[in-house]
Amino acid sequence: MRLAALRQKNGLILHDADSLSDACASHQLSSPAHPLSTALFDAAYWRSHDLVVGEAPGRGSSLFLQARDDEQWVLRPYQRGGLIAKLSQQRYVWLGAERTRAFREVRLTAALYEQGLPVPRPVACCVTRFGLTYEAALLTVRIPGARALASLLTDGEADEALLKRIGAMIKRFHQAGLDHVDLNARNILVDEAGKPWLIDLDRCRLRPPGKWQAGNLQRLERSVVKFGKAHHHIGIIEGYQSAR
């Protein structure tokens, strides 16, 4: 994975040169009318080319895009939650490109991806500066056929074997030092083969072992109980504890 930065007026793009090169070689993005630009992070661009194939639930309204003939991407704008969202849903304080939430997430996701950990491949992020503030959006490769653990729990489709695999996956990330600050049943996806994936690394970071690991699991337990039953979390913990 080759991360490269590109500046366009008040926009900064951090992208995986390999992903975008492959897309341009097999899709209409190879046209001079569709170069790598900040427009790729605007939903209107994809809608105008009839390339929006779906939309994810939740804050921010992530879009599913037909970026290549055989590959879809997810476009996710960065959106604030809580009380501060009443002041501004999309604007963040500018402290430099490398300190933006988008740049941090792409670099972290790329580092984990290169370790072979199950995270979506990052494609690019764009940070648009407005004086002392900025807005941002992220592009990642969509995992084909994946469903959120929350949905599987609600529909009664999360068996013990799957829950143990999820626990083992979380252990791998903890061994790599990942503190996932929003570990919940919506941020764990399961693909068609039953493999679990971890998504949404916004505000996450790498840390030495500590109490945060138990905190991650406690947060996940509350989410699992919300969508399923208390015993579902037991399977996750068993998988976590048995993993090496």
Mean pLDDT of 183-196: 97
Which residue of the set 18, 22, 42, 182 is catalytic?
Answer: 182
Instruction: For residue 110, give the amino acid letter.
Output: A
- Read off the tokens for 21: 């090169």
- Tell me the pLDDT band of 61, cut-offs 50, 70 and 90: confident
pLDDT confidence of residue 17: 84
The pLDDT, as a whole number, for residue 58 is: 62
Task: Provide the phi-psi class of 58: left if phi over 0, else alpha when psi is between -120 and 50, else beta.
Answer: left
42 is catalytic: no
Determine the pLDDT at residue 83. Answer: 47
**Token pair for 169:** 């996956």
Collapse the DSSP code of 16 into the 3-class scheme (helix H, G, I; strand E, B; otherwise coil) and give the result.
strand
- Phi, psi (5° rounding) for residue 34? -130, 60
The whole model's pTM is what?
0.91
Query: Residue 27: pLDDT band by 50, 70, 90 thresholds?
Result: very low
Q: Supply 70's token pair.
A: 């055989």
In angstroms and rounded to an integer, the radius of gyration of the C-alpha atoms of the chain is 18
Place of tokens 């949404």: 200
Per-residue model confidence (pLDDT) at position 90:
86
- Examine the pLDDT at 96 and tell me if it is beyond 60: yes
Q: What is the pLDDT of residues 122-142, one digit of tens each?
A: 999 999 999 999 999 999 999
User: CA triplet 218, 223, 227: central angle to 5 degrees?
Assistant: 145
Q: Residue 130, class by beta-carbon neighbours within 10 Å (0-12 exposed, 13-18 middle, 19+ buried)?
A: exposed
**Measuring CA to CA, how many Å separate 36 from each of 5, 16, 64, 121, 138?**
11, 11, 18, 18, 14
Which residue carries 């990942």 as its tokens? 178
Q: Round to whole Å and give the CA distance between 197 and 58.
A: 18
- Percentage of residues in the chain having pLDDT higher than 90: 79
Please determine, for residue 92, whether its predicted confidence score (pLDDT) is greater than 80. Answer: yes
